[in-house]
C-alpha cells in the first residue's frame, strides 16, 4: 500500500449504452439496453434511464423487457465500442506510461509514473478532474467515473462510490474507516457464493471480516482466497499496475436458441468455432497446446473436456478434429444449449513440423522420416519419453484398418480412431507403441472445407 493516492481507476459509465446514445441522438435520455436480444440473451449494459426500472447487467433480456418494455433493446456494435475504448486508452497512455486496461471500459493508471510535481491529494485530484474532461472531449461526450487511492482496491472502490460522472479521492490513512461498514461484496473475488459462505459464518461487513483471524478464514474459503481476504479486509494491497498482460487462452462459444440434439450439427458448429479460434491465434502470432471444448447441457450443467498436444498448434484442422473428438465421449442426448472451443497453454511461437505442415526437415521425397515423427526407434532403444511419442490428432495408417488418427495414448499403448468412409467416427483400436502395422502418414495440406456454412437453427 502506498503512502499517497497515486493509483487511479477509470470506469466509463454505462459504456455500451452510452456509445449508442452518443451515436443515436434519438436514444438520449431514454432507457437503452445493450445485450443479447434473442430468447436466451442477457443484458450487457443498461443505460441509467433503464436502471431506474431495475434493469441490470447479466439479467436475462426477457426479464429486462418485462421490467422496461419501452426501452430500446440493441445488440452490441462492438467495433464502435472498441474504437471508443481505443481513444480513451490512448489518452491514458499519453498521461502515464503505466496503464493497465481491465476491459474495454476500465483501466488503472499509475500516477507515480505520470510526471506530476507531487502526489498530494490536491494535485492528483486536479489532475484527475482534468483527465475526466479530456476523456469527454476526446470521445464526443462519454462520461467516466474516476477513483483515486493508495492501491488498486481502494481506487476501484472509490470510482464506484458516486458514479456516474464522478471523481472520488480516498485520502491516505482513511481507507479502513471507509471499508469497515461496507459489505464484504466490495472485495474483488467475493461473489455470491463466497458472500453466502461468509454470511453463514456471521460475516457480512468488512469490519466483521477484519475480526476473523487468518486460520479461520483459511478454513472457510481456502488458502488463496483466505490470504487475499485477510489482507484486503485491512486495505493491504500491494498489487502493482501492470501494463502488458499476455493472453493465456483464446476461445469461442455460442448459446443456441433451441437445444441441439443432432451430433452432426454439433460437430459442424465445433468445427466452425475451432476455425475462429485458430484464426485468432494466427492473427496474433500465437499457438497453443491444450484444446478444450465446453458443453452446456439443457439443465445448465457444464462439462469441459480437454486434451494436450506435445507441441503447440494454430492449425484449424488440428483444433477442429480434436474438438470433435472430445465431443464423442459425452452424452448429449438430453440436448445442448451451449458449445465452445478454446485453446490454452499458449506460446508465441509455432513448432514447425509436428503435423507435417510446411516443413524443411522431411526426407527428400517429401515423406516424413518416421523416427522423427513417431519416435518408435527411440522407444525401442529404451529412451524414456515422458509423454507418448504419439500426438493426439496425428494421422496414422494401419495395414488392415486403413487410415485413422491418434485419439490418445498411455503407457506403451496408443489408441487410434479410424475414420471409416461415410460413417465417422469409426472404430477405436488400441495398439502397442511398436506395432509395425501402424505407421504415420502425411495428410494433404489441412483444408477448411469441412467448415459448415449453415447457421444454428433460429
Partner DNA sequence: TCTGGGGTCCTAGGACCC
- By C-beta, is 310 or 446 nearer to DNA? 310
CA distance from start to end of the chain: 52
- The β-bridge partners of 177 are none
Distance, CA of 119 to CA of 427 (rounded, Å): 69
106 is annotated as an active-site residue? yes
Decide: is 303 part of the binding site for DNA (CB under 7 A).
yes
Residue 441 Cβ vs DNA, minimum distance, rounded to whole Å: 24
Minimum distance of DNA from residue 279's CB (angstroms): 12
Task: Render 236-256 in DSSP notation, one character per residue.
Answer: ---PPP-S-----EEEEEEEE
Q: Identify which range of 142-150, 204-212, 303-311, 425-433 contacts DNA by CB under 7 A.
A: 303-311
Compute the least distance from the CB of residue 101 to DNA, in Å.
10
CB contact set of 237 (below 8 Å; sequence gap of 6+): 1, 151, 152, 153, 154, 231
Maximum distance among all alpha carbons in the chain?
81
CB 10 within 8 A of CB 16: no
Residues of span 421-440 touching DNA by CB under 7 A: none
Q: Which stretch binds DNA (CB under 7 A): 21-29, 111-119, 164-172, 302-310?
A: 302-310
CA distance 153 to 318: 42
Is residue 9 close enough to count as binding DNA by CB under 7 A? no
- Please report how close the Cβ of residue 272 comes to DNA at its closest, in angstroms: 12
By the rule CB under 7 A, 411 interacts with DNA: yes
Counted residue by residue, the chain has a size of 458
Write down the H helix ranges in 329-369.
none
* Residues from 13 through 52 that contact DNA (CB under 7 A): 35-36, 39-42, 44
Which residues fall within 8 angstroms of residue 223, CB to CB, at 6 or more apart? none
Please state the closest distance from residue 207 (CB atom) to DNA, in A: 19
Beta partners for residue 148, in sequence order: 8, 169
| 452 is a contact residue toward DNA (CB under 7 A) | no
Nearer to DNA, 178 or 401 (CB): 178
Residue 306 beta carbon to DNA: minimum distance, rounded to whole angstroms: 4
Q: What share of the chain is helix, strand, coil (3-state, %, to 5)?
A: 35, 25, 40
Stretch that binds DNA, among 175-183, 247-255, 312-320, 355-363 (CB under 7 A): 247-255
Q: Which stretch in 207-215, 339-347, 365-373, 441-449 sits in contact with DNA by CB under 7 A?
A: 339-347
Distance CA 404, CA 424 (A): 10
Residue 240 binding DNA, by CB under 7 A: no
Figure out which of the listed residues 384, 400, 449, 453 binds DNA, where binding follows CB under 7 A.
384
| Rounded CA separation 195/172 (Å) | 28
Interatomic CA distance for residues 287 and 360, integer angstroms: 20
Distances (CA, A) of 162 to 104, 112, 127, 205: 21, 25, 18, 20
Asked if 68 interacts with DNA (CB under 7 A), we say no
Stretch that binds DNA, among 23-31, 189-197, 374-382, 435-443 (CB under 7 A): 189-197
| 102 lines the binding site for DNA (CB under 7 A) | yes
Q: Tell me the number of residues near DNA by CB under 7 A.
A: 64
Q: Is 191 in the site for DNA (CB under 7 A)?
A: yes
Q: Tell the smallest beta-carbon distance from residue 127 to DNA (Å).
A: 23
Q: Which residues are annotated as a binding site?
A: 11, 105
Q: Which residue has the cell 461473489?
A: 191
Asked if 283 touches DNA (CB under 7 A), the answer is no
Binding residue (CB under 7 A) for DNA from 125, 225, 351, 359: 225
Among the listed residues 26, 70, 118, 223, the single contact to DNA using CB under 7 A: 223
Catalytic residue among 49, 106, 267, 276: 106
- Residue 432: CB atoms within 10 A of its CB come to 11
Cell 500500500 belongs to residue: 1
- 261 touches DNA (CB under 7 A): no
Q: Residues within the annotated binding site for Mg(2+)?
A: 11, 105
- Neighbour tally for 234: CB within 10 Å: 15
Q: In the structure grid, which three cell numbers stand for residue 423, read together?
A: 460413417
Residue 60 contacts DNA per CB under 7 A: yes
**Residue in the block written with cell 506403451:** 412
Q: Where are the alpha helices (DSSP H) in 299-354?
A: 316-328
Of 335 and 427, nearer to DNA (C-beta) is 335
What residues act catalytically?
A: 106
Question: Which positions touch DNA (CB under 7 A)?
Answer: 35-36, 39-42, 44, 57-58, 60, 62, 102-106, 156, 188-195, 222-225, 247-255, 257, 280, 289-290, 292, 299-308, 337-338, 340, 342, 344-345, 384, 386-387, 410-411
Amino acid at each position: 500500500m502506498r503512502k499517497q493516492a497515486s493509483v487511479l481507476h477509470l470506469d466509463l459509465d454505462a459504456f455500451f449504452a452510452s456509445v449508442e446514445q452518443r451515436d443515436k441522438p434519438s436514444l438520449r435520455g431514454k432507457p437503452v439496453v445493450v445485450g443479447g436480444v434473442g430468447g436466451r440473451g442477457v443484458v450487457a449494459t443498461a443505460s441509467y434511464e433503464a436502471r431506474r426500472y431495475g434493469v441490470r447487467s447479466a439479467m436475462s433480456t426477457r426479464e429486462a423487457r418485462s421490467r422496461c418494455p419501452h426501452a430500446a433493446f440493441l445488440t452490441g456494435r462492438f467495433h464502435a465500442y472498441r474504437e471508443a475504448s481505443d481513444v480513451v486508452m490512448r489518452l491514458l497512455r499519453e498521461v502515464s506510461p503505466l496503464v493497465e486496461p481491465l476491459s474495454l471500459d476500465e483501466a488503472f493508471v499509475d500516477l507515480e509514473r505520470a510526471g506530476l510535481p507531487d502526489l498530494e491529494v490536491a494535485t492528483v485530484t486536479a489532475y484527475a478532474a482534468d483527465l475526466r474532461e479530456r476523456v469527454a472531449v476526446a470521445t464526443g461526450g462519454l462520461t467516466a467515473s474516476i477513483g483515486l487511492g493508495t492501491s488498486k482496491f481502494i481506487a476501484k472502490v472509490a470510482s464506484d462510490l458516486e458514479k456516474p460522472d464522478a471523481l472520488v479521492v480516498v485520502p491516505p490513512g482513511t481507507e479502513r474507516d471507509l471499508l469497515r461498514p461496507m459489505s464484504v461484496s466490495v472485495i474483488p473475488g467475493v461473489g455470491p457464493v463466497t458472500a453466502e459462505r461468509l454470511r453463514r459464518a456471521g460475516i457480512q461487513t468488512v469490519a466483521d471480516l477484519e475480526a476473523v483471524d487468518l486460520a479461520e478464514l483459511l478454513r472457510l474459503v481456502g488458502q488463496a482466497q483466505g490470504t487475499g481476504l485477510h489482507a484486503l479486509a485491512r486495505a493491504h494491497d500491494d498489487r502493482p499496475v501492470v501494463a502488458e498482460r499476455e493472453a493465456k487462452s483464446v476461445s469461442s462459444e455460442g448459446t443456441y436458441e433451441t437445444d441441439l440434439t443432432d451430433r452432426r450439427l454439433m460437430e459442424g458448429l465445433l468445427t466452425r468455432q475451432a476455425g475462429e479460434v485458430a484464426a485468432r491465434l494466427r492473427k496474433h502470432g500465437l499457438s497453443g497446446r491444450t484444446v478444450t471444448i465446453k458443453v452446456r447441457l439443457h439443465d445448465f450443467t457444464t462439462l469441459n473436456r480437454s486434451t494436450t498436444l506435445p507441441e503447440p498448434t494454430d492449425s484449424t484442422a488440428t483444433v477442429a478434429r480434436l474438438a470433435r473428438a472430445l465431443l464423442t465421449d459425452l452424452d448429449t442426448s438430453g440436448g445442448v444449449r451451449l458449445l465452445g472451443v478454446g485453446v490454452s497453454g499458449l506460446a508465441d511461437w509455432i513448432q514447425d513440423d509436428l503435423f507435417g505442415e510446411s516443413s524443411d526437415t522431411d526426407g527428400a521425397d517429401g515423406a516424413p522420416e518416421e523416427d522423427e515423427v513417431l519416435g518408435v526407434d527411440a522407444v525401442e532403444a529404451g529412451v524414456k519419453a515422458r509423454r507418448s511419442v504419439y500426438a493426439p490428432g496425428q494421422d496414422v495408417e494401419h495395414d488392415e484398418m486403413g487410415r485413422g488418427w491418434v485419439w490418445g495414448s498411455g503407457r506403451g499403448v496408443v489408441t487410434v480412431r479410424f475414420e471409416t468412409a461415410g460413417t465417422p467416427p469409426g472404430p477405436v483400436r488400441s495398439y502397442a507403441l511398436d506395432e509395425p502395422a501402424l505407421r504415420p502418414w502425411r495428410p494433404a495440406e489441412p483444408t477448411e472445407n469441412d467448415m459448415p456454412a449453415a447457421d444454428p437453427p433460429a
